[in-house]
Amino acid sequence: MACYLYDRLTAQGASDGIFLETPGGRALSYGQVALLSAQIAHALKDCGTKAGDIVAVQIEKSPEAVMLMLACLRVGAVFLPLNTAYTASEIAYFLGDSHPRVFVCDPSRAGELTSIATAAHVAHVLTLDSAGQGSLMERAADQPKDFENAVRGADDLAALLYTSGTTGRSKGAMLTQDNLASNAQTLCDTWHFSSRDVLLHALPIYHTHGLFVAINVTMMAGAKLLFLPKFDADQIISLMPQATCLMGVPTFYTRLIEHPGLTAEAVKPMRLFISGSAPLLAETHRIFAQKTGMAILERYGMTETGMITSNPYQGARRAGTVGLPLADVEVRVCDPTDGHPMPQGDIGVIEVRGPNVFKGYWEMPEKTAAEFRKDGFFITGDLGLVDGEGYVHIVGRGKDLVITGGFNVYPKEVESEIDALEGVQESAIIGLPHRDFGEAVTAVIVLEKGANLDEAQVLAALAPKLAKFKLPKKVIFASELPRNTMGKVQKNRLRDMFSATYG
Ligand code: AMP
């Protein structure tokens, strides 16, 4: 009987082919993956875990953590990974909201988190550390190395991923077996993955990017992961001779282009550099291409939908765009107020439909209903347009749109002009409360080292390029922009920091 996603993920990997290798010299073949995940599946079952139960984890990156995800699939449990940076009170919210059967955490936090888990009626708290040690693996050690997988179909839940939730409550996105399987298959095809590929994996594994894009695509292709604890530019460059592909957030690439080791010679063994999770600056794309002769492939997606668009594998990879809708994904741009499709080229809210789109928010039927159109399209909340050649351009999150004196200002348009100024490293446009305008367009700018630019010079340079209402009312200089672990600029934090700017 079928265990839908697990069967699809493991169909290609040859039993003696290596699935995962660490820089420390540890290697796990696909055959060993099957044995180890079976033992962990038994350990979960011993805790009373049944198909449909949730297993929540807040654990460091380790090969065993990946095996735990697979074990959940085999038991039919719903895998719920949590950001390792979450505090005890945040964990209390997630456990209370999702009612997991089992919670696995780092041994160093077991003391404070066990009482929280108990209060949330979690039946079992187990531990797992970055070295793969802890009570989970103690329980798994003596278990049989085969396991009768649960029967799971396309529409059964595979994972619950909470959105990063910069406003309001974080919501649990219910992802089905086929949401994940279809997206991994489409990405394998789009990016030409095969068993000859070796992916440099330096992303965290509590987010859809590191988990379901990186791991699922590699596994579905029967390929290999070079599994790194975190991003380190030296290490990435030194491992390129053994690899074929890198998936990264834009900050990986801004750091790589600053590294003297990034040359055309160094990247020769690599066939593909992919970027996503946050906008890649056109400048980064350009410098990377200049230094290496290779064009970074930018793609776009979100927790609720998996991947939505990708620049082409063959064909123009356009800087500043997120490419074309994936083969099985429909994308349209609509008027955010009434949902009517916008004329081609106009800015509106991006909506998505396809087998990749999640089932809804966990225990939030009203919120779910509000974010889907009647014809099944999901309203992403991202603002963008589709150009004449079908490429999607993102201009910002809807909630980051600045409305000043009744006019809409799309942050990306102003940021692009500022970023193009000599001496500017990067910028963020935010709307801050203002008595007359409602919101005032405000620029937060990070200068390049040694650059000398003041507010008057920035405004003078922008004035001939942008309509007056789009010009920043104020320019704030900062040493860096606050980012989350996926490299996204946290505009909500900037808005809080500077909320009193206009009195
Ligand atoms: P998350 O659910 O954490 O993966 O965040 C999804 C959001 O990240 C999307 O709704 C976009 O706002 C943003 N995002 C992801 N990829 C890109 C990209 N290539 N360019 C611009 N924004 C992106």
pLDDT digits over 123-136, tens only? 999 999 999 999 99
> Which residues' Cβ are closer than 6 Å to ligand 1?
163-164, 208, 276-279, 298, 300-303, 322, 380, 382, 394, 397, 486
* Structure confidence by residue, pLDDT tens digits, 427-469: 999 999 998 888 999 999 999 999 999 999 999 999 999 988 9
Atom number, ligand 1, closest to the C-alpha of residue 486: 3
What is the 99 CA–ligand 1 centroid distance (Å)?
A: 28
Which atom of ligand 1 is found nearest the CA of 250?
19
CB 441 within 8 A of CB 471: yes
Per the CB < 8 A criterion, the answer to whether 434 and 502 are in contact is yes
Record the tokens describing residue 79, joined without a space: 């895998």
Angle at 217 (CA atoms; ends 216, 223), nearest 5 degrees: 105
Q: Among 247, 300, 309, 317, which is best to mutate for testing ligand 1, by the most ligand atoms less than 8 A from CB?
A: 300
Distance, CA 303 to ligand 1 centroid (Å)? 9
Q: What tokens were used for 426?
A: 């990067």
Ligand 1: which of 171, 249, 302, 326 to mutate, most ligand atoms within 8 Å of CB?
302
| pLDDT at residue 167 is higher than 60 | no
Residue identifier of the C-alpha nearest atom 15 of ligand 1: 277
Summary count for the chain: helices (H), strands (E): 16, 25
pTM of the model: 0.92
Q: Which of 34, 45, 60, 207 is nearest to 128 (CA)?
A: 60
Atom 1 (ligand 1) nearest CA: 302
Tens digit of pLDDT for each residue in 372-391? 999 999 999 999 999 999 99
- Position 174 pLDDT exceeds 90: yes
What was the pLDDT predicted at 85? 86
Identity of the residue numbered 87? T
State which H helix or E strand residue 273 sits in. strand 272-275
What stretches of 154-296 adopt beta strand conformation (E)? Answer: 157-162, 172-176, 198-201, 224-227, 245-248, 272-275
pLDDT tens-digit map of 265-291? 999 999 999 999 989 989 899 999 999
Query: What pLDDT, on a 0 to 100 scale, did the predictor assign at position 307?
Result: 98
User: Two tokens at 290?
Assistant: 């200049």
CA pair distance 192, 472, nearest whole angstrom: 44
Whole-number Å distance between alpha carbons of 357 and 352: 7
If 0-12 CB within 10 Å is exposed, 13-18 middle and 19+ buried, where does residue 196 land?
Answer: exposed
Measured by CA distance, the residue closest to atom 21 of ligand 1 is 279
Taking the centre of ligand 1 as the mean of its atom positions, its distance from the CA of residue 428, in whole angstroms, is: 16
What span, in angstroms and rounded, lies between the C-alpha atoms of 370 and 374? 10
**Pocket residue to mutate for ligand 1, from 358, 382, 490, most atoms within 8 A of Cβ:** 382
Ligand 1 atom closest to the CA of 298, numbered from 1: 19
Q: List phi, psi (to 5°) of 114.
A: -65, -45
Across the chain, what does the average pLDDT equal? Answer: 95
Distance CA 389, CA 402 (A): 28
- What DSSP string describes 312-342? -SSS---TT--BEE-TT-EEEEE-TTT-PBP
Atom in ligand 1 nearest the alpha carbon of residue 163: 2
At 396, is the pLDDT very low, low, confident or very high (cuts 50, 70, 90)? confident
Q: How far is the CA of 120 from the centre of ligand 1 (A)?
A: 31
Among the listed residues 95, 482, 34, the one whose alpha carbon sits nearest the alpha carbon of residue 109: 95
CA of 307 to the centre of ligand 1 (A): 9
Is residue 457 within 8 Å of residue 412, measured between CB atoms? Answer: no
Give, for ligand 1, the residue of 277, 297, 391, 490 to mutate: max count of ligand atoms closer than 8 Å to Cβ: 277
Q: Which residue's CA is the nearest one to ligand 1's atom 9?
A: 302
Nearest to 100 by CA among 122, 115, 79, 118: 122
Residue 221 has pLDDT above 80, yes or no: yes
Mean pLDDT along residues 341-353:
97
Write the residue with the smallest CA distance to atom 23 of ligand 1: 278
Question: Residue 264 C-alpha to ligand 1 middle, in angstroms?
Answer: 29
DSSP 483: B
Q: Whose CA is nearest to atom 8 of ligand 1?
A: 277
What is the position in ligand 1's atom list of the atom closest to the CA of 164? 3
Burial profile 373-412: b = 16 or more Cβ within 10 angstroms, e = fewer: eeeebbbbbbbbbbeeeebbbbbbbeebbbebeeeebbbb
Residue 389 carries which side chain, given as an amino acid letter?
E
97-109 confidence digits (pLDDT tens): 999 999 999 999 9
Nearest to 58 by CA among 204, 189, 170: 204
Give the model's pLDDT for residue 130. 97
| CA 226 – ligand 1 centroid, Å | 25
- Average pLDDT on 17-43 reads 97
Residue nearest to atom 6 of ligand 1 (CA): 302
Scanning the structure block, which residue is given the tokens 């139960």?
A: 53
CA dihedral of residues 413, 419, 425, 430 (deg, nearest 10): -30
Cα of 35 from ligand 1 centre, angstroms: 36
- Ligand 1: which residue has its CA nearest to atom 4? 302
Contact between 426 and 443 (Cβ < 8 Å): no
